[in-house]
């Protein structure tokens, strides 16, 4: 037998407490905490990896989509090299009360454009969680005309699954060109392969610099112009301004330079915009006529599906938007969508659309029709389409 130890006990009889013991298993709570910590590390790694691209494109991510407000903020005035504070441009006071009225009318119209609808494209947060794709410069632009039906056309087009458009008017090629194409691209919604990026800013059509600027971005840009009877358009333009500034002069007094001679004041923007042939000449110096589509504002009301068919063909899209998407709202007097983009509810344009026009003396309307007739005929010849305004 083994050697005896003092006290007469064998080495095999040593108590268990003196022998090496196996490690005590961790309690269940520790195991759960360790597992939770490991899962948290994995989730954090995946989040940072995914965010690497999205955060660069959406700097306002942590501000719950506030980046778009920053993008639309007006640029700060530059300081002169010598450190003197910036000076606002001087504007001489109008020479007459009538000229003041014209400035007031055009200023009110400008204010309404600036207070346009907020963009309803996805916010940075929703784009991060649900959106993929990339931001592209627009392949198609609705360039005009104001009060012609551009908002209706854009809302109708957005029903198409292959069209992604900015909700608000970017005004890049007329007001914010100095901010650069990167700033402009960042305003665009994300698109997938096969989708078209679009925007609409009606004032582009009458901006002298816009054709060259858009051509410099891409000579392949498709251009859409929504035109309307220039007399009706001018009255609608005035009605919009009147809703903002009820104290402006009458339509008749703003229309004429000299009422007794019947001389039309073409310096008033409400009149000038309707001289479509003159504005089109500037565009044809940079784009072929085949790259432009002219949509009838009247037919957009009487036959929206027919006009949308032409637009879809022009953009190379499958004809998805048809009669089944529209119903006629008798109260507003124009068609509405049975289902808007991303909604199952009917959708009509807002209360700013379809305003009741003021009564205009018939002789004033007739004089305007005589004024526009030669310009209309030239426009028909240039576009190859008779819009039937005479």
Binding-site members for 3'-phosphoadenylyl sulfate are 147-151, 228, 236, 353-357
Q: Which residues are annotated as a binding site?
A: 147-151, 228, 236, 353-357
d(CA 276, CA 373): 11
| Distance, CA of 3 to CA of 19 (rounded, Å) | 18
Write down the residue that tokens 């030669």 correspond to.
374
Phi-psi region of 176 (alpha: psi -120 to 50; beta: other; left: phi over 0): alpha
CA distances from 390 to 36, 86, 228, 307, 373 (A): 76, 51, 12, 21, 7
Q: How far is CA 131 from the centre of its chain?
A: 18
φ, ψ dihedrals at 196, nearest 5°: -105, 135
Q: Give yes or no for a contact between 357 and 369, defined as CB atoms under 8 angstroms apart.
A: no
**Residues acting as catalytic residues:** 147
DSSP letters for 198-234: EEE-GGGGG-TTHHHHHHHH-TT-EEEEEE--HHHHH
Number of C-alpha atoms within 13 angstroms, CB side, residue 126? 8
| β-bridge mates for residue 141, sequence order | 199, 223
Biggest CA-to-CA distance, the chain: 141
DSSP H/E element including 200: strand 196-200
- Please give the Cα distance from 35 to 29 (Å, whole number): 10
Length of the chain: 390
Rg, C-alpha atoms of the chain: 33
Phi-psi region at 40: left, alpha or beta (left = phi > 0; alpha = psi -120 to 50): alpha
Structure tokens at 155: 């809302």
Distances (CA, A) of 75 to 66, 69, 116, 182, 196: 17, 12, 19, 15, 29
Given a contact cutoff of 8 angstroms between Cβ atoms, the answer to whether 244 and 112 are in contact is yes
Q: How far apart, in whole angstroms, are the C-alpha atoms of residue 348 and residue 335?
A: 8
């Amino acid at each position: 037998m083994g050697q005896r130890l003092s006290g007469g006990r064998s080495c095999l009889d040593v108590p268990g407490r003196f022998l090496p013991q196996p490690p005590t298993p961790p309690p269940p709570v520790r195991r759960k905490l360790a597992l939770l910590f490991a899962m948290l590390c994995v989730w954090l790694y995946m989040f940072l990896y995914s965010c690497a691209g999205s955060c660069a494109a959406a700097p306002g991510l942590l501000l719950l989509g506030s980046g778009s407000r920053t993008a639309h903020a007006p640029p700060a005035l530059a300081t002169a090299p010598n450190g003197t504070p910036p000076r606002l441009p001087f504007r001489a006071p109008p020479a007459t009360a009538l000229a003041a009225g014209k400035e007031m009318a055009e200023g009110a119209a400008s204010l309404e454009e600036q207070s346009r609808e907020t963009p309803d494209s996805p916010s940075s947060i929703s784009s991060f969680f649900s959106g993929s794709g990339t931001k592209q410069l627009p392949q198609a632009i609705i360039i005009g005309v104001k009060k012609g039906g551009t908002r209706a056309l854009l809302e109708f087009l957005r029903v198409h699954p292959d069209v992604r458009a900015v909700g608000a008017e970017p005004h890049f090629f007329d007001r914010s060109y100095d901010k650069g194409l990167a700033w402009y691209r960042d305003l665009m919604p994300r698109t997938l392969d096969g989708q078209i990026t679009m925007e609409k800013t009606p004032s582009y059509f009458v901006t002298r610099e816009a054709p060259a600027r858009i051509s410099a971005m891409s000579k392949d840009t498709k251009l859409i112009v929504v035109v309307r009877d220039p007399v009706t358009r001018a009255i609608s333009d005035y009605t919009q301004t009147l809703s903002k500034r009820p104290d402006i002069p009458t339509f008749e007094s703003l229309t004429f330079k000299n009422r007794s001679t019947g001389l039309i004041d073409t310096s008033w923007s409400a009149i000038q915009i309707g001289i479509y042939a003159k504005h089109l000449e500037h565009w044809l110096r940079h784009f072929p006529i085949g790259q432009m589509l002219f949509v009838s504002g009247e037919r957009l009301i009487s036959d929206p599906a027919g006009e949308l068919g032409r637009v879809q063909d022009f953009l190379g899209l499958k004809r998805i938007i048809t009669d089944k998407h529209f119903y006629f709202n008798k109260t507003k007097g124009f068609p509405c969508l049975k289902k808007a983009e991303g909604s199952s509810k009917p959708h009509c344009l807002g209360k700013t659309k379809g305003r009741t026009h003021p009564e205009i003396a018939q002789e004033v309307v007739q004089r305007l029709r005589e004024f526009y007739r030669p310009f209309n005929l030239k426009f028909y010849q240039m576009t190859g389409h008779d819009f039937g305004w005479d």
